[in-house]
Structure 1
Amino acid sequence: MILVDTSVWISFLKNDDPDLGDILKKYLKRNDVFTVSAVFGELFQGVKNKREWDILQILWSSLPKVEEEGLFIKAGQLSNKHKLYASGVGLIDCYLLAACLDNKLALWTLDKKLQKAFDQVTT
């Protein structure tokens, strides 16, 4: 089970990397992809046309979501405990980390700072 970061979704939607797209499609087919509102909020913020909007609407309505109550507080606490803000990891990224920790999910990201933070908080 994985939480897919905004960076991966953007690459998928732009079809930047066909291999990434194939892998994500396999995860989606197996229902192994979870999401949070923050990721789709970022994606909707950058929508450029109706096609993208429609795709995001379908994905948002069909993907399983993690329980988000209290996650921003946990994200802030996680950031403080691991000094993540000083490493350039913002609150939204910490939110994703907290969601992964709370739900025992792997994180799939193309963001090297976020991946390093995930490795730090899960070891």
Structure 2
Amino acid sequence: MILVDTSVWIDHFRQRNVELREIIENDRLLCHPFIIGELALGSLRDREAVIGFLQAQRETVVATHDEVMTFIDRYSIFSMGIGYTDAHLLASTLLDRRVSLWTRDKRLLAAAQKAGASVHMAASNPH
């Protein structure tokens, strides 16, 4: 299962990503409510359809505030330039080891690797 970060979705909305489409078609997509919220705050074409689609997808495990705070300290991911939403995505990935995180955010990727989280590495030609 693949948890897709905001950075990947934004690129996909600009230019369709074949690999992301395949993940969706193969029912391997997981969504996090914070990602849906971040996307809802942006400029989306066909806003209602996009948000509706994302909300209809399976939701990943959502960590509690206490779990996220524990992971921040346990894996020393503070001072790495990631935000609280990123820490939540990372915690979700660590709580369910069947999940891989797909991000284009270099800082989040570094934090995920430091914590030993599973990371989805995109194909070399994503479009």
Q: TM-score range by the shorter chain?
A: 0.7 to 0.9
* Counterpart residue type for residue 74 of structure 2: K
Give the aligned partner of residue 56 of structure 2: 62
How many residues are matched? 116
- Quote the Cα distance in structure 2 between the aligned partners of 1:31 and 1:96: 19
> TM-score when scaled to structure 2?
0.82
| Structure 2 unmatched runs, 5+ | 118-127
State the SS of the aligned residue for 1:86. coil
Query: TM-score under structure 1 normalisation?
Result: 0.85
| C-alpha contact (below 8 Å) 2:36/2:55 kept by paired residues | no
**1:10-45 deviations in Å (ceiling 9; x for gaps):** 000111xx5xx1000000001101011001100001
Is 1:100 the counterpart of 2:93? The answer is yes
* Partner amino acid, structure 2, of 1:115: L
Distance in 1 between residues matched to 2:85 and 2:24, nearest whole Å: 23
Q: How does 1:21-36 map to 2 (within 5 A)?
A: 21-36=17-32
Percent identical across equivalent pairs? 25
Q: Distance in 2 between matches of 1:71 and 1:122?
A: 20
Asked if the contact 2:6–2:39 (Cα under 8 Å) also holds between the matched residues in 1, the reply is yes
Question: Are 2:2 and 1:2 aligned?
Answer: yes
RMSD of aligned Cα (Å): 1.6
Q: How far, CA to CA, are the matches of 2:61 and 2:77 in structure 1?
A: 23
The runs of 5 or more residues in structure 1 that have no matched partner are none
